[in-house]
Chain A
Amino acid sequence: MESDFLETLLLTFKLAFVTTSILLVIGVPISYFLAYTKSKLKPIFETIVSMPLVLPPTVLGFYLLLFFSPESYLGRFLEESIGFKAVFTFEGLVLGSIIFSLPFLVQPIQSGFETIPKSLIEASYTLGKGKLETFFKVLLPNIKPSLITGVVLSFAHTIGEFGVVLMIGGNIPGETKVASIAIYDEVEALNYDIANRYALVLLSVSFLILLIVYTLNKKVRV
């Protein structure tokens, strides 16, 4: 029982960690693009990124299930070509979580980029610095609070998600059974004290994470 409990928590944090790491790599460029694009299609891109904010998680999970199931073309293709299975696997959970947590990372970082005055970027250009150097040495260091907020929010959100995970991951111990599912499971089985332990851990972790964000942001802000 004890090892089961730890295994589930560990899996939950592993999922959050992997999801957030991948999100950071793909989310920061997306935020940069959305903040500076002059494309007329910008509202469409923004809508797509923000969809998970309003969409019921079960809807997203349902479509993922549909698109990636071994019966679908895409699912079969992915499985046969690179051996990627999305349904009822940890990788599938990561994929679902990335899509579902994307707006939580992109929105704070995008608004961080947008608050940087254009003249600061132009100043860097007039000092002979290219776009890449300006991005890493001027932009990123000056939106630290937004970066922290984005990372923590998407991390915390991944820990807490339920609907997508349930739809696409199911409830396989050690593979796809995360804490939020476990709580549901234990309550259904009337194991209130185990459910209570999970709930307490999630509650404390959420509180601590948010506390750290707000303390850090206060310190970092210039």
Chain B
Amino acid sequence: MIKIDIKKRLAKDLLLKVNRVIQKGDFLALFGESGAGKTTLLRILSGLERPDEGKIVVEGEVWFDSQTGFNMPVQKRKIGFVFQDYTLFPNMSVYENLLFAKNDRQKADFLLKLIELDKLKDRYPHQLSGGQKQRVALIRALMREPKILFLDEPLSALDVKMRSKLQDELAQIHKRLGVTTILVSHEISEIFKLCNKVFVLEKGEIKKEASPFEIFVEAKVASSFKFDATILDLKEEDFLCVLTLSFGSNIIKSVIPKEEAKELKIGDKVLVSSKAFNPIIQKIEF
């Protein structure tokens, strides 16, 4: 069990204030807008940053206590940290990167097999693809058998296909090794796939704590699709009005009664919603 009760001032009007408990074996997501303090919280827990005050206790072991002034250095905390930008050491081969973390060949071989990269162990980081680098960084973080594994948007630099593959691998590794894992992510689908719990951070505070389903499904969706769109074009034809709308990278045409179009003009932001009775759903193959 991990008990966190910390405060840190991030800016004049932004105070990171967290008082929560994380259960052993949890796969927790920190979700929220950029600047909400997700990464800072991760860095504080890992020991890369120091909170202003509070206490962090991990499985009965004190990692930080401002009252006694104790701050366990990052090197002493049993953690694994996967950064956004791979961070493999360029001067070491894949195998040497793993052994640098802990000189345990058996463990390195086991983890390499687990992600099916044992054939690439003598390659250097510049000879690997982004996905391969990040997978090596992931198992390198597991070499020391961490009590907590921190993942700071580890998949954000990868393409969709690679991301999906890595998500599967992460889920599998978590299932197999059971390491308490904390993931910073913007991606709802990713959180759904991996996590059993979500902290929603807003302006430095955890506003909600629940399962991904409770947070993203029950609260928001009422059996309908909703999205924000911009009106690109508006043409009146007989008693109908044809709207051309853009949302994200898509452009769609839609028809509404002339009456309803009265208040609309080109460039307006609109909310488009539709009942989810009969959508056509197809699996996307990569």
Residues of A participating in the B interface, judged by any CB pair closer than 8 Å: 117, 119-120, 122-130, 137-138, 141-142, 222
B64-81 residues with Cβ-Cβ distance < 8 A to A are 74-76, 79-81
Please tell me if the beta carbons of B87 and A120 are within 8 angstroms of each other in the complex: yes
Given A126-B79, A127-B144, A120–B89 Cβ distance below 8 Å?
A: yes
A123/B91 in contact, CB under 8 A: no
> CB within 8 A of B85: which of A117, A124, A125?
A117
B91 contacts A126, CB within 8 Å? Answer: no
When distances are taken between beta carbons in the complex, the residues of chain A under 8 Å from B217 are none
| Interface pair B48/A127, CB less than 8 Å apart | no
Chain A residue with minimal CB distance to B91? A141
Residues of B with C-beta under 8 A to A120? 87, 89
**CB <8 Å contact, B87 and A123:** yes
Cβ of B192 under 8 Å from chain A: no
Question: Is A222's CB under 8 angstroms from B126's CB?
Answer: yes
Q: Is the CB of A126 within 8 A of B81?
A: yes
Closest 8 CB pairs of A and B: A141-B91, A126-B81, A123-B87, A127-B101, A119-B83, A125-B74, A128-B75, A119-B87
Contact between B48 and A125, CB atoms less than 8 A apart: yes
Which residues from A are CB-within-8-Å of B84? 119
B83: chain A residues within 8 A (beta carbon): 119, 122-123
**Closest chain B CB from A58 CB (angstroms):** 43
A119/B75 in contact, CB under 8 A: no
Interface residues on chain B, number (Cβ under 8 Å): 26
Query: Is B50 an interface position by the 8 A CB rule?
Result: no
Cβ-defined contact, A126 with B74, below 8 A: yes
- Assess whether A128 is in contact with B87, with CB atoms less than 8 Å apart: no
Which chain A positions have C-beta within 8 A of B257? none
CA distance A130 to B73 in the complex (A): 10
B179 → chain A, closest Cβ, in Å? 14
Chain A residues within 8 Å of B100, by CB: 124, 127, 129, 137
B124 within 8 A of A: yes
Residue on B nearest A137 in the bound complex, by CB: B100
- Specify which chain A residues have a CB less than 8 angstroms from the CB of B48 in the assembled complex: 122, 125-126
A123 and B81 form a contact (CB under 8 A) = yes
A124-B143 Cα distance, complex, nearest whole Å: 13
Q: Is B58 an interface residue (CB 8 A)?
A: no
Q: Which residues of B contact A126 (CB under 8 A)?
A: 46, 48, 74, 79-81, 141, 150
A140 to B48, CA, bound (A): 22
Contacts of B150 in A (CB 8 A): 126
- Could you tell me the distance between the alpha carbons of A105 and B143 in the complex, rounded to whole angstroms? 38
Q: What are the residues of chain B within 8 A of A129 when measuring CB–CB?
A: 75, 100
Beta-carbon contacts under 8 Å, B106-157 to A: 124, 126, 137, 140-141, 143-144, 150
Q: What would 8 A/B residue contacts be, using CB atoms closer than 8 Å?
A: A122-B81, A123-B87, A125-B74, A126-B141, A127-B140, A128-B144, A222-B91, A222-B124
User: CB distance B101 to A128 under 8 Å?
Assistant: yes
Interface assignment of B90: CB less than 8 Å from any CB of chain A: yes
C-alpha spacing A195/B208, complex, angstroms? 83
A77 CB, nearest partner CB in chain B, Å: 43
CA–CA, A125 and B261, complex, Å: 60
Q: Which residue of B is nearest A138, CB measured?
A: B89
Chain A residues in 8 Å Cβ range of B137: 123
Min distance, Cβ A157 to any Cβ of chain B, angstroms: 28
> Nearest-CB distance from B192 to chain A (Å)?
27
> Within the complex, what minimum Cβ distance (angstroms) separates A114 from chain B?
16
A63 CB, nearest partner CB in chain B, Å: 41
Measured in the bound complex, the distance between the Cα atoms of B141 and A124 in whole Å is 10
Chain A residues, Cβ within 8 Å of B85:
117, 119
* Complex: A142 Cα to B87 Cα, angstroms: 12
